[in-house]
A = this chain, B = another copy of it.
Amino acid sequence: MNNFQYYTPTKVVFGKDTVKEVPRLVREYGGTKVLVHYGGGSAVRSGLIGQISELLTEAGIPFCELGGVKPNPRLSLVYEGIELVKSEGIDFILAVGGGSVIDSSKAIGYGVANGGDVWDFYDRKRTPQATLPVGAVLTIAAAGSEMSDSSVITNEDGWKKRGCNSDVCRVKFAVMDPMLTMTLPDYQTASGCTDIIMHTLERYFTPKGTMELTNGIAKAVIQTVMRNAVILRDDPQNYDARAEVMWASSLSHNGLTGCGNGGNDFATHRLEHELSGMYDVAHGAGLAALWGSWARYVMDNCYDCFRRFAVDVMGVPDEGTDEEVSLKGIEAMEDFFRSINMPTSMRELGLDPSDEDIEVLADKCALATGGKVGAAKVLTRDDFVKIYHMAK
């Protein structure tokens, strides 16, 4: 039982037709001129951007648009957004999309409110002290950025993918209508479900003590996403399943699933950041490809958690040695990943990195993490190499 801080100020407005609340919410948080920031064409084609434009226009709230955010959102567009916000006198950013769009919006907010080069915050040279207020209309359930303190940006100069965590960037409001996620391709839905589960798993395994209530909530999040990911595999238009997954995306990464636990791990995330930075694979799929190898590599450092995970979350019989039971729990999670067509190795992800490629990945991960990462087990560059090899 460790001390902790929990802070999730985001106002969540959840359910059908909640998009029409956007103008009221923008006003509530002081917005008088809005940047509507979004990604590729789907938000436009679906009519969502048009609907939001109409709502803002009807409410008399002026706005500009900036689309074009890509998965693994790019620094160059963030710079463009910062200039646009400054030149147009914008005081509120509305992110319409998933984690990439929200992360890009947070980065623009940092850039405008703090001055200097915004990359400094991602390169750990400075700490952000302020941001422009950001609201979100969520269209992808996955990253949890709508309630998290996290923003991850990719710098095309060297394809460095770096995160910046700060309570400063917590989104003011998140409008979450599960209907908006109905048209996601199956692979993206499954990849999102994996990411959601992983945000809880990254907080679950630690030798430094956990909290019973947190373990119970983690179990609820993981099992709910597992059940509903399978429902969505067979019935993508199932509203209730979309809703369960969407709400889980927020709770899994807003801090709740780590309260009182002995530190967040996030080694699998950091190893995956280098994969998707170099190969541009879907983040959730990359996590699924690496997690089992990471788990087998670190499990002997916290058998208590791995055994509890196997028995309490995955339903493995509580019989056998710690190693046996832990392995069965890891295998059960990998079976689940496969059941929703997620990869459990880099080969299944469509990658076949050479030994040299793996050295490069490990180098980049070491650079990004400062050479050390992990709570279940503290890992260094040599460990990264071994895990990447195990995951081939």
User: In the complex, what's the smallest C-beta–C-beta distance from A262 to chain B, in angstroms?
Assistant: 12
**Pick from B8, B12, B211, B227: contact of A244, CB under 8 Å:** B211
- Expressed in whole angstroms, the Cα–Cα distance for A247 and B257 within the complex equals 13
Interface string of A251-281 (1 = CB under 8 A from B): 1000000011000000000000000000000
A239 contacts B by Cβ under 8 Å: yes
Please determine whether A13 and B5 come into contact, CB atoms closer than 8 angstroms. yes
Query: Does A14 touch B at the CB level, under 8 Å?
Result: yes
Known A-B contacts A3-B18, A15-B2; the reply to A221 vs B228 at CB < 8 A is no
A7 touching B11 by the CB < 8 A rule?
Answer: yes
Q: Does A216 sit at the interface, judged by CB under 8 A?
A: yes
A50 proximity list for chain B (CB < 8 A): none
A16 contacts the other chain (CB 8 A): yes
A247 contacts B220, CB within 8 Å?
no
**Residues in B whose Cβ lies below 8 Å from that of A211:** 243-244, 247
Q: Are A5 and B1 in contact (CB under 8 A)?
A: no
Question: Is A332 part of the contact surface with B, judged by Cβ < 8 Å?
Answer: no
Question: Chain B CB within 10 Å — which of A211, A228, A248 has the most?
Answer: A211
> Assuming A220-B217, A220-B220, is B14 touching A4 (CB within 8 A)?
yes
A28: min CB distance to chain B, Å: 11
Residues of B within 8 A of A224 (CB): 212-213, 216
Once the chains bind, are B212 and A1 in contact (CB under 8 Å)? no
Q: Does A9 contact B (CB under 8 A)?
A: yes
Q: Return the CB mask of A238-249 against B: 1 if under 8 Å, else 0.
A: 011001100110
Q: Which of chain A's residues 183-235 have a Cβ closer than 8 Å to chain B?
A: 211-213, 215-217, 219-221, 223-224, 227-228
Within A1-36, the residues touching B (CB, 8 Å) are: 1-9, 11-16, 18
Cross-chain contact B259 with A247 (CB below 8 angstroms):
yes
Q: Are B4 and A15 in contact (CB under 8 A)?
A: yes
Which residues of B have CB within 8 Å of A212?
Answer: 224, 227-228, 240, 244
B260 near A247 with CB under 8 A, answer yes
CA distance A314 to B67 in the complex (A): 51
Q: How far is the CB of A182 from chain B (nearest CB, A)?
A: 14
CB distance from A43 to the nearest CB of B (A): 22
**When the two chains form their complex, are residues A14 and B259 in contact, meaning their CB atoms are under 8 A apart?**
yes
A3 cross-chain contacts in B, Cβ below 8 A: 14-16, 18
- Measured between alpha carbons, how far is A221 from B13 in the docked complex, in Å? 23
| Contact partners of A221 in chain B: CB under 8 A | 213, 216
Decide: A7 and B12 in contact? CB cutoff 8 A: yes
Q: Report the nearest B residue to A240, measured CB to CB.
A: B1
Q: How far, in whole Å, are A385 and B240 apart by their CA atoms in the complex?
A: 38
Q: A213-B247, A244-B212 are in contact. Are A14 and B5 (CB under 8 A)?
A: yes
Residues of B within 8 A of A1 (CB): 15, 239-240, 243-244
Most chain B CB inside 10 Å of its own CB: which residue of A13, A212, A244, A260: A212
**Which residues in B have their C-beta under 8 angstroms from that of A244?**
1, 211-213
When distances are taken between beta carbons in the complex, the residues of chain B under 8 Å from A11 are 5-7, 9
Q: CA separation between A155 and B2, bound complex, in Å?
A: 41
Chosen A-B contacts, 18 in total, with CB atoms closer than 8 Å, are A1-B15, A1-B240, A1-B243, A1-B244, A3-B18, A4-B12, A5-B13, A6-B11, A7-B11, A7-B12, A14-B259, A14-B260, A213-B244, A213-B251, A216-B217, A216-B220, A216-B221, A217-B220
Q: A213-B220, A213-B247, A213-B248 are in contact. List 6 more A-B contacts (CB 8 A).
A: A5-B13, A9-B11, A212-B240, A216-B220, A216-B221, A247-B259
